[in-house]
Amino acid sequence: MKQLLCFLVFISFLVTAEITTAAETELETVIIEVEGDVEQHQAYIETYHPFIEVIASYSTIFNGLAIEGKPEHLAKMETADFIKGMYQPQQYQALSTGNLREQFIQPSYPQTGYSGSGVKVAVIDTGIDYTHPDLKRNYIQGFDLFDFDEDPMETVPEQGIPTNHGTHVSGIIAANGKIKGIAPEAEIYAYRALGPGGYGSTIHILAALEKAVLDDVDIINLSLGNQVNGPDYPTSTAVNQAAELGVSVVIANGNSGPGSWTVGAPATAAHALSVGAATAPAEIPFLYDSLEDMKIEILTMQGASDWNLKKDYPVIAAEQAQESLQGKIALYQRGERTFQELALEAQERGAIAVLIANNEEGALHGMIENQGIVIPVAGITQAEGEWLRNRNEHYIDTIYEKKPTTIADFSSRGPVTVNWQIKPDILAPGTSVLSTVPGGYEAFDGTSMAAPYVSGAIALMKEAHPDWNVDKVFHALKTTAALLKEEPDILAPSIQGHGLIRVKDAIETPAIIYNAELHGGRISERHQEKDFKVAIENLTETEQHYTFNIPKQKTGLHWKLPLSFTVKPGEKQEIAVELAINSTVMKEGVHEGYIELVEKTTNEAYELPYLFVNQEADQPKAAGFEWSMKHFSNDTYTYQVYATEDLKTFTVDLYDPDTLLYKGRLITLDKPATGMNEGEITSENLDPGIYTAVLTAITEQGVIEKEEVTIAVE
């Protein structure tokens, strides 16, 4: 099974060029960010740069212009003082991780009575195969921010590394054919902001966000991200603006788990809904030899029948068997013949099932077309195949282990740095999800798969409740989500937010809780009090009676909660929640948990997550270091680094990657402030080559953090 990278990516500005003769220079399209009045700057360019054409302008999500011209003409724009950048930005990439060793699942169509009819969903991604039979009914229109035309087709081989991610994401939302998406009647608007290989830049994503908002979409899905954990990165700021304009923005939380602080922009945006990935409950088949205590996990191939053997069978190497494989499990080695051919041969020879061992290290994922094949077909590792081959015609049992729903290991965790907010907001299925790809269907893992599940769910909600605004939809989803446990403990808020989405419950919820996330921020004083305003809206025609369960006592924490209160039918009531913190008796770092609110008549419990940082946290002090040649320059480099707190110094030292000999200091920043820090360096005193760069961040408190990266000087 091919792996699909599914988060943020490096982007270069793609040449789009009209070539009239072989001797002519190609035209290049770039998007620039500008300060001030966009129309005024457009007029300036049209007047003083006649060889440059302004082909689009942006002023809703960000200020910018798309311009086209020959490179030598575009280079002259570099000195214009209103241009903030032609962007050497953070890398963005589509987010998926390959497949876990689990059964493939197709996103289940929630039985809500709704299908997303008439709801417009924007997919900002690698493009879409709008000719796919399961998508062509739902695809309405799109735009390509790379080639700058109205054809958002996925990257094909002749354009570079081909892509399929946007098609997969679109199918989860609204496939309507052989497989069904979550909202099979929703309308898909596709924006290609990630190019060959699934990579793209901040500027293309900003332009796609603007285009989607101007196209009046209801929902924007962003199954992409970067490694910068900060709330004010440009893409995070932009999606907050889109949300303020009434668009529901859903973002994949990232695939950099299971460590803390791994969420990246734009999932760090305060007003977007950030989605982590949960595993699906599954019954996993294993081959088991009780005498040698050998357990072999098998991967049922996509398209094959479920592995449902109920007793032991002999396993025989197919090439060593006589004519018949009757009643046996046939073992093959992966080779030149297709899985389909091997399975068909085994079935014709009477095999009860087929195992195909990999011919290299690692698990074997595969698929068959299932044309006339009714027996199970599964992959195993190369080592497991050799073990079975050495025990030819060895009888072996099939056992099954139930795997409950939990957080996927790869799913990025929070909290967000700087403002210390809880992310993700919720979870959705994100492992082994079967969906559309160009030419067929494949199953992928990733928060990229979880986000479109939620986008589809919101399409159902907007059909059910067309008068609900973004805030109400998001809070209904959070109110009704189900917390996940890893016995005996509930998973922390920075891992799962409010828990696993339950869209039917969200549509039919009797109450919505607003401002349920109790963000305490950073505690710097010995004794500090935090006041929160939580609101409960009663959507029923009867009174609702609430009380808080007394939280388990924790050293240094004292909650002041209303004993009980009543919310009248159709009303929205605000209540005060107070938290007193004695920081001197608590460990430094992140403190988090839940307090429980109960509706007494129905005994329905709602969990409110809280999180604060006592004094200092162990978050990365600097992130998102970028080093690249300035656009249209051959002697100047730009750099940027995001500081998650005020630093004493940030330095970059260069070493020979082979001998580790010190080559000198590249960058010194004194007292870089929280947020993005940028600068330029000329190459005059730099020797060309590949270097190991040691990044050193020192905080005001003397904490030292180091990281190694590779950089190139041309």
Residue 678 forms beta bridges with which residues? 640
Categorise residue 145: left if φ over 0, alpha if ψ from -120 to 50, beta otherwise.
Answer: alpha
552 and 684 in a single domain? The answer is no
311 and 373 in a single domain? The answer is yes
Q: What is the DSSP letter of 326?
A: T
Tell me, what's the pLDDT at 290? 86
Tell me, what's the pLDDT at 302? 73
Look at residues 232, 301, 306, 314 and name the one whose alpha carbon lies nearest to residue 265.
Answer: 232
Of 614, 646, 668, the residue at which a domain comes to its end is 614
370 and 240 in a single domain? The answer is no
Going through 45-198 in order, the beta strands assigned E by DSSP cover: 53-58, 64-69, 83-85, 91-94, 120-125, 139-144, 187-192
The answer to whether 655 touches 695, Cβ cutoff 8 Å, is no
Identify whether 54 is part of a domain. no
Going through 413-461 in order, the beta strands assigned E by DSSP cover: 426-429, 433-437, 440-444
How large is the angle between the packed helices 470-480 and 447-464, nearest 10 degrees?
A: 110
Which helix (H) or strand (E) is 518 found in, with range? strand 518-523
98 and 244 in a single domain? The answer is yes
106 and 223 in a single domain? The answer is yes
Tokens of 711: 């950089």
CATH number for the domain harbouring residue 372: 3.50.30.30
Look at residues 78, 160, 102 and name the one whose alpha carbon lies nearest to residue 127.
Answer: 160
CATH number for the domain harbouring residue 103: 3.40.50.200
Identify whether 234 is part of a domain. yes
Tell me, what's the pLDDT at 91? 57
pTM over 0.85: no
Identify whether 256 is part of a domain. yes
Buried b (16+ CB within 10 A) or exposed e, 671-688: ebeeebbeeebeeeebee
Using CB atoms within 10 A of its CB, is residue 611 exposed (0-12), middle (13-18) or buried (19+)? buried
Mean pLDDT per 10-residue run, the chain (714 residues)?
Answer: 31 27 60 89 92 90 87 81 64 58 50 94 98 98 93 95 96 95 97 92 90 97 92 90 96 95 96 95 86 89 85 90 87 92 93 94 80 90 93 89 89 96 97 93 93 98 98 98 90 98 97 97 95 98 96 94 96 97 96 97 97 95 89 83 96 95 96 93 90 96 94 89
Tell me, what's the pLDDT at 356? 96
Structural domain boundaries, residue 601: 510-614
Identify whether 672 is part of a domain. yes
CATH number for the domain harbouring residue 679: 2.60.40.10
224 and 125 in a single domain? The answer is yes
148 and 291 in a single domain? The answer is no
707 and 597 in a single domain? The answer is no
144 and 268 in a single domain? The answer is yes
650 and 565 in a single domain? The answer is no
152 and 240 in a single domain? The answer is yes
**CA atoms of 181 and 179, how far apart (whole Å):** 7
261 and 130 in a single domain? The answer is yes
Identify whether 440 is part of a domain. yes
Tell me, what's the pLDDT at 125? 97
Number of structural domains found in the chain? 4
Identify whether 680 is part of a domain. yes
Residue 359, CB-side half-sphere exposure with 13 Å CA sphere: 7
DSSP 3-state assignment of 403? strand
Identify whether 399 is part of a domain. no
Identify whether 22 is part of a domain. no
Which helix (H) or strand (E) is 628 found in, with range? strand 622-629
